[in-house]
Structure 1
Amino acid sequence: MLNETKDPLPVAERVVGVRLESPLVGAADLIKAQEGRASKAFAMRELPFRDLVNVRGELSDPAFVAAFAGVVGCEPPAAPNTVARSDHYDVLWLGPDEWLVRSLAPVQTGMLEAKLTAVLGDAYAAAVDIGSGNTVVEIEGTRARDVLSRGCPLDLHPRLFKPGQCAQSVYFKASIVLIPTGDDHFEIVVRRSFADYFCRIMVDAAASVAP
């Protein structure tokens, strides 16, 4: 975190009073306007300040799997593009040895990385907090898949892409991780550097397909 006074303060004192700022702060008025005219066809909102941790490890290592499950509450999924869930987190498959762990509710960010690092020990594994560099956007509505289809090349038919799955893709030029959480409900992890662009281009796409 930045210490704007540049004083050599202890970490605890620097953290106290820090104001968290959403990656979508520049598009706040646009999101507020979108929420105000949300309909059954399409609605979009941010789910800010979630713990997001990228984890690498070997599923063949019982020590890694046990340590991971002890903190997260479930084992990392082995099947490609699937999601595992515990009471407080979901775990998205990104690769054979890579997962994204997300908190299901706003939390004090940065805590999960520390917990995982503490238990991984000598395992051939790593946990890196990426919460400050990403945010989560939620969309829903009867035209949500249509809005996504405007800029996402995946086949989003509900028979093929449904809850319990996830996929890395793009929305126009923005890199995303897409998670269907209901029939017409999606959560999207988007990088901070793309967040403002992503929000604006999605609102533009929604204007042409959702009444």
Structure 2
Amino acid sequence: MAEPTATLTARHPLEGYRDLLAALSAELAPALVLELGGLVAAVDLRVDPAGGGPAAVEQVVGGPLPARPDTWTALPAGQALRLGPDEWLLTSAAARPEDWEFAVDEAAAAHGGMAVDVSAQRTALWVRGTAARELLATGCALDLRPRSFPAGRCAQTLLGQAAVLLVAHGDDDLQVLVRPSIAAHVVDRLVDAATEYRSDSVPWETP
């Protein structure tokens, strides 16, 4: 009789914060809503933007790659973020990491490029609400006003002392991508800063 095989289930690195963030959001909405982003497949793409690589990858991912650094475009099940002159981060909520990497790498390799699976490298946190940019500005040196950091922009920066990738989806809708090893630090900082928006100013207890 065959032994049953174990099933591994992916767990969000910030799962222990889910209830806390839900309670915080219920209390502070519409000024602030903090939510965990879903798990996604992600690849780091390196390819010459002047060659045919970007067009080949676009055929595979089903959407356009952003033309300018520090901007992003939507893909059918994710997003494409241009991190540098020849570097993009591509995500998909529908693909398996190994399938996503293989498909993108095969398209890029034909034009001298490559793609590497980085699905475990970042986790996502959404900061929404009328005070979202004000909250993030407490620990970020970037000018986060909508006219300076509008929807469609992204930037690698520091939030507190943590390296993050900020993605602007709207005036009141921002995504924070951060390494799992320091994600809890980032959430603790944001939760602490959000205390001032409470009517009683009593801090939340973090996990």
Same fold (TM > 0.5): yes
**In 2, are the aligned partners of 1:41 and 1:210 still within 8 Å (CA)?**
no
**In 1, are the aligned partners of 2:46 and 2:88 still within 8 Å (CA)?**
yes
1:53 to 43, 58, 68: 43
2:74 paired residue number: 85
Q: Percent identity?
A: 32
1:148 and 2:136 are equivalent in the alignment: yes
1:181 and 2:169 are equivalent in the alignment: yes
**Separation of aligned partners in 1, 2:94 and 2:195:** 29
Kindly state the Cα deviation for residue 75 of structure 1 after the two structures are TM-superposed: 3.6
**Separation of aligned partners in 1, 2:133 and 2:74:** 23
Question: 1:50-75: per-residue Cα shift (whole Å, max 9, x none)?
Answer: 1221111101111x123211111234
Kindly state the Cα deviation for residue 135 of structure 1 after the two structures are TM-superposed: 0.8
Letter matched to residue 124 of structure 1: G
Kindly state the Cα deviation for residue 158 of structure 1 after the two structures are TM-superposed: 1.0
**In 1, are the aligned partners of 2:64 and 2:73 still within 8 Å (CA)?**
yes
Kindly state the Cα deviation for residue 106 of structure 1 after the two structures are TM-superposed: 5.8
**In 1, are the aligned partners of 2:18 and 2:36 still within 8 Å (CA)?**
no
Kindly state the Cα deviation for residue 117 of structure 1 after the two structures are TM-superposed: 1.9
**In 2, are the aligned partners of 1:110 and 1:131 still within 8 Å (CA)?**
no
Q: Which runs of 5+ in 2 are unaligned?
A: 200-207
Q: Which moved more, 1:70-79 or 1:93-102?
A: 70-79
**In 2, are the aligned partners of 1:40 and 1:142 still within 8 Å (CA)?**
yes
1:17 and 2:7 are equivalent in the alignment: yes
**Separation of aligned partners in 2, 1:187 and 1:210:** 22
Kindly state the Cα deviation for residue 28 of structure 1 after the two structures are TM-superposed: 3.8
**In 1, are the aligned partners of 2:22 and 2:34 still within 8 Å (CA)?**
no
Residue correspondences, number: 196
Kindly state the Cα deviation for residue 107 of structure 1 after the two structures are TM-superposed: 4.9
Letter matched to residue 57 of structure 1: V
**Structural RMSD (CA):** 2.1
1:172 and 2:160 are equivalent in the alignment: yes
Instruction: Calculate the TM-score normalised by the size of structure 2.
Output: 0.85
SS for the counterpart of 2:90 is strand
Letter matched to residue 88 of structure 2: W
**Separation of aligned partners in 1, 2:65 and 2:178:** 21
Letter matched to residue 81 of structure 1: D
